[in-house]
Amino acid sequence: MPKPFPTTVLVLASGFLLIMASSGCGRVELNDELEYPDRTSPVVLMEKHPDQGPPGFPPPGKPPVSVDWLVARGVSVLDPSSITTVAWASGWMAALKEESGRHFGNPGKPRVGATDTPSIAALSAELGMDETKLAEGSRLYRRLCVQCHGVTGDGLGAASLWLSPAPRDLRTGDFKFISAAEHKLPTGFQPLKARPRTEDLVKTLRVGLEGTSMPSFALLGDGPLESLAAYVINLSCRGELEQAVITGVLRQDKETSQAVAKNPAQEEVIRYKRMLSTTLEWEDPEADVDDFMAKLPSPSIKLYAEKYIDRMLREYIAANKNPIPVPAYPYSEDKPIPPASIIAGHALFKAQCVNCHADYGRQSDLRFEVWGSVVRPANLTLSRYKGGRRPIDIYYRIARGIPPCAMPKANLGDSAPAKAGWDLVNFLMALPHPEHLPDEVRAQVYGGSLSKKSGTTP
């Protein structure tokens, strides 16, 4: 039998633990008993990017999303706390909490897919999101990411208000730096969102986002980075489901408002049908919401959650299977970039990119992002790229665009898209270096006075 500790040691040890806990070393508030708080931050419905951009960046200490600016430009912004005034919606919110816990767990015990919905559990297994991995991801997240991204992934962690650009709100399912091609789902439908491939998330974590406060976590090693990526998907799906239900209760678009005005007593059913239709049509393009509802005793958030989670996970799986095809580099790899390629890329840039990247990005106007936050189209003369500086990273950006910023993919034409794509990349890679630009391009970008000789040498 092991010898019991002398009492003095126990007293000392417990005193030490108490000090640890009260001084925060024990991370009391982020321990395994932690539960996700309900959403209180506004839901921005950026269905169309407003014509008029934001007046500036929000000042330090203020939230990254200014509701006033958005509303003044015709964007709908929903306030989750107003749900308490909708009598029938309390049932939905209680059910959402229940389903969220069942499918996503809590920070101490995250999962994807309740054990009694084997189909969802199988999809999360296909994404490699097992409970051990998610638990490791959550533990690391609570240690390394919450200060910026917040416990729920709302991007409102303690440090967030003083960072520009603001840490990402991970709850909407939107990501910027993705290498998945545009594709249809096996049922023929477009994904609800442009999903990242898991390796895109791992790369963001490994490299960080240059020019922002998002650091590189490369030293953690591959396993922990994959666990973190899995947990990011967990948080993201959880947040997206929550946002979809809140939107279902509160959205005031024309179609819903007209239907409700005609039949106010049926508001709950009208709104439920609207939500369900997208998830139903994805399973079966012929499905009829009215027929389906006729068989359902009453709107069921449990059923909606299962269908929505199923769809999200299938979209992440499909993104993984559809990488952007990268055509072979059409020039000789051991020779300098041919001037004709840079000239051709410059022409494409002038035709397609200057609307946003005015004066090559040196005089870009601010724009809203899908989250309602503010972004400046990159100054492309600076050689600073959030999503990576390798030619392949730049290729991905132009081949897919940056969906949450409404940056469209480049139009590379039908005749020689591979050449056009690499010409654009070659132009962008040379742009920050006047000495690498052919004379005629340099004169247009940096002015006639900057002769080749006065450019900095490589």
Q: How far is the CB of 283 from ligand HEC (least distance, A)?
A: 29
Q: What span, in angstroms and rounded, lies between the C-alpha atoms of 435 and 452?
A: 6
Helix (H) or strand (E) holding 240: helix 222-250
Measured CA to CA, the distance from residue 399 to residue 182 in angstroms comes to: 9
Two tokens at 373? 């936050």
**Site stretch for ligand HEC (CB under 6 A), options 52-60, 209-217, 249-257, 334-342:** 209-217
Q: Are 141 and 154 in contact (CB under 8 A)?
A: no
Give the residue, chosen from 324, 406, 443, 450, that forms a contact with ligand HEC under the rule CB under 6 A: 406
- β-pair type (43-45, 374-375): unpaired
Residues 215-274 that bind ligand HEC (CB under 6 A): 215, 217, 228, 232
Among residues 24 and 91, whose Cβ is nearest to ligand HEC? Answer: 24
Give the span between the Cα atoms of 190 and 194, in whole angstroms.
9
Size of interface with ligand HEC, in residues (CB under 6 A): 51
Closest CA to 342 of 445, 415, 411: 445
Out of 270, 370, 402, 437, which residue is the one contacting ligand HEC (CB under 6 A)?
A: 402
397 binds ligand HEC (CB under 6 A): yes
User: First vs last Cα of the chain: how many Å apart?
Assistant: 73
* 72-101 residues near ligand HEC, rule: CB under 6 A: none
C-alpha 241/C-alpha 198 separation (Å) is 20
CB of 299 to ligand HEC, least distance (A): 33
Q: Are strands 374-375 and 367-368 parallel, antiparallel or unpaired?
A: antiparallel
Q: Which stretch binds ligand HEC (CB under 6 A): 12-20, 103-111, 327-335, 346-354?
A: 346-354
Spatial separation of the C-alpha atoms in residues 96 and 242, rounded to whole Å: 7
Note whether 371 binds ligand HEC by CB under 6 A: no
Is 139 a residue that touches ligand HEC (CB under 6 A)?
no
Q: Which is nearer to ligand HEC, 196 or 299 (CB)?
A: 196
Cα 103 from Cα 57, distance rounded (Å): 37
Which of 111, 251, 357, 419 lies at the binding interface for ligand HEC (CB under 6 A)?
357
H-state helical runs in 251-372 = 254-262, 267-283, 289-294, 301-321, 339-352
The C-alpha atoms of residue 313 and residue 380 are separated, in whole angstroms, by 35
The footprint of ligand HEC on residues 409-428 (CB under 6 A) is 410, 424, 428
- Residue 345 in the binding site for ligand HEC (CB under 6 A): no
Compute the least distance from the CB of residue 43 to ligand HEC, in Å. 19
Binding site residues, ligand HEC, CB under 6 A: 141, 144-145, 147-149, 159, 163, 165, 167-168, 175-177, 196, 201, 204-205, 209, 212-215, 217, 228, 232, 349, 352-353, 355-357, 367, 375, 377-378, 380, 385-387, 394, 397-398, 402, 405-408, 410, 424, 428
